[in-house]
A = this chain, B = another copy of it.
Amino acid sequence: MKLLSPDELEQALRDIGARRYHRLHPFHHLLHGGRCTKGQVQAWALNRYCYQAAIPMKDASLIARCEEPAIRREWRRRLVDHDGEREGEGGIARWLRLTDSLELDRDDVVSQKGALPATRFAVGAYIRFVRERTLLEAIASSLTELFSPAIISERVDGMLKNYAFVTPETLAYFQQRPPQAQRDSEFALAYVKRHALSADVQEQVLAALEFKCDVLWSMLDALYHAYVSPGHIPPGAFVPKD
């Protein structure tokens, strides 16, 4: 691979999003297009909880390996966003209000017992990627957030329009996310553009974003297989009532 300018690197990262971000996945289209049953929306929310719950651990392990106070402070906002300042606040608590409003039992959701094994394996792979790879690759793997404001607005509009069981309160999580994701991804992108200065390292950075796209994509693949078509729910996983 040849050395890219910072702007070419940004373009190459955005191209990965255009080809591999889970906004392109058939399950996303079903979900926001109103073609999911309530049981399928429950399965999505229950599995996605595993991801939400892991994010602050992922971010803390990134901070734990970062020697610059300014970067650590910036990254710390993500902990605040997800864990809040007190009980009942933050993104994880808002996600649990979403699963509450879908009439899932909170203990079941938090225990992650009914989650698909493939979800747990994908989330585990992401946590360990951030823990074990270089700090730059760990930061680059967060760059799917460059693409999340678009998917979130499609999801919120589509779900509110199409599902009687979804209200603005259900989706409170998503109302907070776009400005946070924009702020965070701009910071991460600037960091990556500033630090990925050799062709080898640029290749690592691009691979890190592809890896992260694979994590999100494989979570929707597993949902599709288990709950849409052919609908083979693996032993032990959540079985919808409707």
Chain A residues with a Cβ under 8 A of chain B: 19-20, 26, 116-118, 120-122, 124-125, 128, 210-211, 213-215, 217-218, 221-222, 224-226, 229-230, 232, 234-236
Contacts and interface: CB of A to CB of B under 8 A. Distances in A.
Contacts of A224: 225, 230, 232
B222 A234 contact: no
Nearest to A234: B217
A126 B94 CA distance: 32
A206 B124 CA distance: 21
A213 B117 CA distance: 10
B19 A235 contact: yes
A121 B218 contact: yes
| Total copies of the chain | 2
B226 A229 contact: no
Given A117-B214, A118-B121, A128-B128, 13 more contacts: A26-B230, A116-B218, A117-B211, A117-B215, A118-B118, A118-B218, A121-B215, A214-B236, A217-B234, A224-B225, A224-B232, A225-B225, A229-B230
A120 B224 CA distance: 19
Contacts of A226: 221
Nearest to A228: B230
Given A118-B121, A122-B121, A221 B232 contact: yes
A169 B120 CA distance: 37
B217 A235 contact: yes
A218 B125 contact: no
Given A20-B235, A20-B236, A229-B230, A118 B222 contact: yes
Contacts of A118: 118, 121-122, 218, 221-222
Contacts of A121: 118, 121-122, 124-125, 215, 218
Contacts of A214: 117, 234-236
A225 B236 contact: no
Nearest to A213: B235
Nearest to A237: B214
